[in-house]
Chain A
């Protein structure tokens, strides 16, 4: 079953097309990522899903409900964590959970949620005194308080240290394990690669690619990266001539060749033919990072 449907979404602000014909479907129980540089239209897209903005054009449905016109029905099935949103600084964690629980007819068990998100030791702590990771865990708890079928998480781990980020990632996986559909907005490659079942790459308001993380990496021209230091320098022209080689760079005595499995095989026989010993030879899979650069030609950072 389709949890989220977005078809032909357009949104213009002050004459600038922010979202320009975005379409995707998210299946129930899926973690779907929207990935792209700042200003790509990610947040505007999810704000249309959350009912915070009305699309200029296009169709949006969340569990069959139109966010623009069926607010009551939408808020019963959708939980939201907003980018750069806060709570009252002097509100304690317990008070926030109690307050938000009162908004729902059948709220989730607050105690169980707080326990699962590691908030029990902080129930009496005021929002303003929480660490970044604790705040995000509280926001996840608030998003889950209404027992939603779909949650939207927008830039969930921005500003968190690596350890807190990993903790939050496990939480997102556990949410999905409960059968909740997750729409995840991020500009972290590693996050998208680790969590998402499928990813939509968004750039300048359009989807430039939509696939599984492995599919996206495979689609990139350079799926393998060979790097080595040679005793006797190899002729860069010979390297460039390798089948399916995409690029060759030489820096600080190390040579880096990007290509595919074909390139790697041909590279090994080239070494043998020339009798060259390659030291510190490494062959690595390209990351989503490389794929992103390849597929959009844009730099994420």
Chain B
């Protein structure tokens, strides 16, 4: 216990939060496993593995790899993170930290980094299972895909941070998270892939953070550029929501 070399506070906090994350089986399932399960269930439907003329010669399962990736980001950023942060505030954990040499911001940073990593790992798992089980081609434009994915992760964490900032208690954070959850699921194309939506709807959805993410990921997956317009929409949302969170977040 009394090792002379103690890690830096930031490292110690991140390590602790990672351990605690691993002790939440529900969160682990929804963030790390359920997106891949969604993909596998859809992939088991034979017609989804057949080439469709309506989708420009692609298969439904091809479209659902980016959708499942977005599902992972929604789970991490919107469903998992806000209740944890709101709970830390509600139970005085942030306040307790601010009486030590470490600032409570360090705990928020660790939580954000942790959920970003969880979302990315879950995404890689989805892409790998899509490739191995259903022969979904790896992204044709890897650099563009990574760029779009990183922006999408920032966007979902910014939405989660904003949910936390406007919610006074953990219960409210969970409730607000659920309310925001359905529109984000819809705009991410979980029920109907964005590419299969009518034109007008597609254009509107393209202005939302997850709709834009869906467009960018789909374009980069097919080998094209992720599209500056979509990247710009995501960047704008991330900046606006981060600003709002910083402005409205209360430490107690």
Interface residues of A (CB under 8 A from B): 50-52, 72, 75-76, 78, 80, 82, 84-88, 90-91, 94-95, 97-105, 107, 109-111, 114, 142, 146
Which of B41-49, B62-70, B90-98, B112-120 lies at the interface with chain A? Answer: B90-98
Which of B13-21, B153-161, B207-215 lies at the interface with chain A? Answer: B13-21
Q: Is B101 an interface residue (CB 8 A)?
A: yes
Which single member of B12, B91, B93, B95 contacts A102 (CB below 8 Å)? B12
Interface residues of B (CB under 8 A from A): 1-2, 6-9, 11-13, 16, 19-20, 23-24, 88, 91-93, 95-96, 98-102
With both chains docked as a complex, state the minimum distance between the C-beta of B5 and any C-beta of chain A, in angstroms.
10
Which single member of B1, B20, B23, B93 contacts A98 (CB below 8 Å)? B1
With both chains docked as a complex, state the minimum distance between the C-beta of B4 and any C-beta of chain A, in angstroms.
11
Question: With A90-B20, A109-B2, A111-B2 in contact, is A99–B13 under 8 Å at CB?
Answer: yes
A91 with B20: CB separation less than 8 A: yes
Which single member of B20, B23, B92 contacts A82 (CB below 8 Å)? B92
Closest 7 CB pairs of A and B: A85-B92, A102-B12, A80-B99, A86-B91, A75-B101, A90-B23, A103-B100
B6 with A50: CB separation less than 8 A: no
Which single member of A82, A95, A103, A142 contacts B19 (CB below 8 Å)? A95
Which residues of A lie under 8 Å from residue B102 when comparing CB positions? 103
A75 with B93: CB separation less than 8 A: no
With both chains docked as a complex, state the minimum distance between the C-beta of A42 and any C-beta of chain B, in angstroms.
17
Task: Kindly report which residue of chain B lies nearest to residue A120, judged by CB atoms.
Answer: B1
Which residues of B lie under 8 Å from residue A110 when comparing CB positions? 1-2
A99 with B12: CB separation less than 8 A: yes
- 29 residue pairs of the A-B complex, CB under 8 angstroms, read A51-B99, A52-B98, A75-B100, A80-B96, A84-B92, A85-B91, A85-B95, A86-B92, A88-B16, A88-B88, A88-B93, A90-B23, A91-B20, A94-B1, A95-B16, A97-B1, A99-B13, A99-B16, A100-B100, A102-B8, A102-B9, A102-B11, A102-B12, A103-B101, A103-B102, A105-B101, A111-B1, A111-B2, A114-B1
Question: With A88-B20, A111-B1 in contact, is A76–B101 under 8 Å at CB?
Answer: yes
Task: Kindly report which residue of chain B lies nearest to residue A78, judged by CB atoms.
Answer: B99
Task: Kindly report which residue of chain B lies nearest to residue A88, judged by CB atoms.
Answer: B20
B6 with A102: CB separation less than 8 A: yes
With both chains docked as a complex, state the minimum distance between the C-beta of A82 and any C-beta of chain B, in angstroms.
6
Task: Kindly report which residue of chain A lies nearest to residue B19, judged by CB atoms.
Answer: A95
A86 with B93: CB separation less than 8 A: yes
Question: With A90-B20, A98-B1 in contact, is A82–B96 under 8 Å at CB?
Answer: yes
Task: Kindly report which residue of chain A lies nearest to residue B88, judged by CB atoms.
Answer: A88
Docked CA distance A104–B12 (Å): 12
Task: Kindly report which residue of chain A lies nearest to residue B100, judged by CB atoms.
Answer: A103
Docked CA distance A85–B88 (Å): 10
Docked CA distance A110–B3 (Å): 10
Which residues of B lie under 8 Å from residue A75 when comparing CB positions? 99-101
Which residues of A lie under 8 Å from residue B20 when comparing CB positions? 88, 90-91
Docked CA distance A100–B23 (Å): 20
Task: Kindly report which residue of chain A lies nearest to residue B11, judged by CB atoms.
Answer: A102
Known: A88-B20, A110-B2. 4 other contacts (CB 8 A): A80-B99, A86-B91, A88-B88, A101-B6
B2 with A104: CB separation less than 8 A: no
A107 with B23: CB separation less than 8 A: no
Docked CA distance A28–B6 (Å): 30
Docked CA distance A105–B91 (Å): 27
B95 with A82: CB separation less than 8 A: yes
With both chains docked as a complex, state the minimum distance between the C-beta of B20 and any C-beta of chain A, in angstroms.
6
With both chains docked as a complex, state the minimum distance between the C-beta of A13 and any C-beta of chain B, in angstroms.
13
With both chains docked as a complex, state the minimum distance between the C-beta of B27 and any C-beta of chain A, in angstroms.
11
Which residues of A lie under 8 Å from residue B101 when comparing CB positions? 72, 75-76, 103-105, 146
B95 with A52: CB separation less than 8 A: yes
Which residues of B lie under 8 Å from residue A105 when comparing CB positions? 101
With both chains docked as a complex, state the minimum distance between the C-beta of B97 and any C-beta of chain A, in angstroms.
8
With both chains docked as a complex, state the minimum distance between the C-beta of A269 and any C-beta of chain B, in angstroms.
59
Which single member of B8, B16, B96 contacts A85 (CB below 8 Å)? B96
B7 with A102: CB separation less than 8 A: yes
With both chains docked as a complex, state the minimum distance between the C-beta of A228 and any C-beta of chain B, in angstroms.
50
Question: With A90-B23, A110-B1 in contact, is A82–B100 under 8 Å at CB?
Answer: no
Docked CA distance A294–B44 (Å): 80
Task: Kindly report which residue of chain B lies nearest to residue A92, judged by CB atoms.
Answer: B19
Which residues of A lie under 8 Å from residue B6 when comparing CB positions? 98, 101-102, 107
